[in-house]
């Protein structure tokens, strides 16, 4: 699996994997069908967020020492690793605060159980908590691994076009990236 650490059109770093967006979450044996439908609803999240969460969740649990992360190569490897380290720290902090907020809201959403019909607020909040928890675990696994930064000319071309504001070239460059790495849906993650 390939991982990418690249800036999007808003000049914010994104960490994505080459896997397409799929259902998120672990399978629950008793209520498998209900959870399957709820996970499908989670795919309605913006692709920028969804793909990044999935990339964090997909970090291998095995004892493999290193993870290969493709980047633009505009900066020396040491500077890229430092930027990646601070990016992971920021993401870790955000996920911890999201989990704290969701934990505080969870009891309040339980009050909706007194209303007729299914408790959608509780289900959505529980699913978001599971997603944030799994992504946080992936971030922590990623922080313990050795990161091999591999520069890519296509990613360098993308970041150069972004820094110069050449939107007319975005589609062409993203097409190259899709062919080179076999990553689908990059337009939704990095551009639109």
Asked whether 54 and 19 are in contact (CB, 8 A), the reply is: yes
Q: How many structural domains compose the chain?
A: 1
Which tens digit of pLDDT belongs to each residue from 170-189?
999 999 988 888 888 888 88
Q: Which residues contact 55 (CB under 8 A, 6 or more apart)?
A: 3, 15, 16, 17, 19, 138
Which tens digit of pLDDT belongs to each residue from 108-165?
888 877 878 777 788 788 888 988 999 999 999 999 898 999 999 999 999 999 999 8
The pTM of the full predicted model, rounded to 2 decimals, is 0.80
Which tens digit of pLDDT belongs to each residue from 30-46?
456 666 666 666 666 78
Which tens digit of pLDDT belongs to each residue from 46-58?
888 888 998 999 8
Residue 7: give the domain boundaries. 3-191
Question: Distance (Å, rounded) from C-alpha 50 to C-alpha 47?
Answer: 5
Which tens digit of pLDDT belongs to each residue from 70-109?
999 989 999 999 999 999 999 999 999 999 999 999 888 8
- The label of the residue with tokens 């994505």 reads 16
């Amino acid at each position: 699996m390939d991982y990418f650490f690249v800036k999007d059109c808003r000049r914010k770093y994104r960490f994505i994997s080459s896997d397409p967006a799929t259902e998120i979450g672990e399978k629950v044996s008793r209520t498998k069908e209900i959870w399957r439908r709820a996970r499908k609803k989670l795919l309605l999240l913006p692709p920028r967020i969804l793909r990044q969460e999935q990339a964090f969740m997909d970090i291998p649990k095995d004892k493999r020492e290193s993870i290969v992360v493709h980047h633009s190569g505009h900066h020396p490897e040491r500077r890229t690793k430092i930027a990646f380290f601070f990016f992971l720290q920021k993401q870790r902090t955000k996920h911890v605060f999201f989990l704290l907020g969701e934990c505080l809201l969870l009891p309040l959403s339980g009050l909706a159980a007194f209303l007729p019909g299914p408790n959608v607020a509780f289900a959505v909040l529980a699913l978001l908590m599971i997603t944030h928890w799994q992504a946080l675990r992936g971030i922590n696994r990623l922080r313990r691994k050795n990161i091999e930064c591999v520069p890519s000319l296509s990613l360098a071309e993308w970041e150069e076009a972004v820094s110069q504001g050449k939107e007319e070239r975005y589609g062409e460059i993203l097409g190259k990236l899709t062919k080179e790495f076999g990553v689908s849906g990059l337009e939704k993650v990095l551009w639109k």
